[in-house]
Amino acid sequence: MRSEQKPKRPFEMEETWLREFAKFYGVESCTSFCLDDLGGIPLVQIVEAMVRPTSISCEKCDEPGCVCTLIADVGDGECIAVSVHFVSQEMKVTIRRADRIKKETDSDTSQAA
């Protein structure tokens, strides 16, 4: 009996690489960032979001590398969204932006209707 392989998602390799890179190097994996772009979110929480995201989307750039947006649940009804640019060939990760996002609850969506 043959097992069926799941179809690969676009950029699955990049997502795995970025997650594992952040796990291995931790805070040191962020080769560059600007404090003003972190939205007051501690760097340790941002790297945690890179290691344990609940969702990831990636887009290829015109330049080398790609931009990934990682979203991680931090509890208390909030998530952190982190946008990073990374180039795997050069082992460069740049944090471009981080924001706190309030999660929508069922009551929020029912009030909007």
Q: Is the pTM of this model over 0.75?
A: no
- For 27-46, the pLDDT digits (tens) are 665 678 888 999 999 988 88
Domain that holds residue 53: 12-105
What pLDDT, on a 0 to 100 scale, did the predictor assign at position 102? 86
- For 101-112, the pLDDT digits (tens) are 987 765 555 555
The torsion region of residue 4 among left (phi > 0), alpha (psi -120 to 50) and beta comes to: beta
Does 52 fall in a domain? Answer: yes
Query: Cα(103)–Cα(78) distance, rounded to whole angstroms?
Result: 5
Which stretches within the chain are classed as H helix? 12-25, 43-51, 106-112
Number of domains the chain is built from: 1
In the chain, what is the straight-line distance between the N-terminal and C-terminal CA atoms, in Å? 49
What pLDDT, on a 0 to 100 scale, did the predictor assign at position 93? 86
Query: Cα(8)–Cα(46) distance, rounded to whole angstroms?
Result: 26
Does 113 fall in a domain? Answer: no
- For 70-79, the pLDDT digits (tens) are 899 988 788 9
Does 2 fall in a domain? Answer: no
What pLDDT, on a 0 to 100 scale, did the predictor assign at position 107? 58
pLDDT, mean of residues 77-96: 87
Does 112 fall in a domain? Answer: no
Secondary structure class of 85 (helix, strand, coil) = strand
Residue 32: DSSP 8-state: B
